[in-house]
Amino acid sequence: MKTYQCFLGTNKPQGGCVTTQEWSQFLKQIDATFEEGYTVQKAIGRWHGVNENTFLLTVITNELKQLIRLCEDYKMIFNQESVLIQELPVKPLFI
C-alpha cells in the first residue's frame, strides 16, 4: 500500500469558494470511495500568487486509479484548474 496526499483547493475561478455544504456533499463521495479510511486536514495553500483554503486528503491505498478519478471529479464539480496528488515516500505501519 502507498500513501498519497491530494491538495483540494477551494477557490472557484468564477469567484467564491467551495461552501461547507458543497464540501459535505463531496465528502460523501470520498466516504464511498475509501470506506476503509482516510484523513482530511484543513490547510492554507497558494496557487498562482493567491492564498486559498485547501483540504488536504491523505489516503493509504493500492487504488491509485480510484484516487485519480475522485480528484478528477473534484476538478470538474468545482471547476478547478488542477488538483495535486503526491505519493509520500513512507511505508505505513498499522499496529
Q: Which pLDDT belongs to residue 34?
A: 95
pLDDT < 50 positions in the chain: none
Dihedrals φ, ψ of 9, to 5°?
-65, 155
User: What does the block give as the cell for 14?
Assistant: 468564477
Q: Which pLDDT belongs to residue 2?
A: 92
Q: Which pLDDT belongs to residue 94?
A: 78
Cβ count within 10 A of residue 43: 13
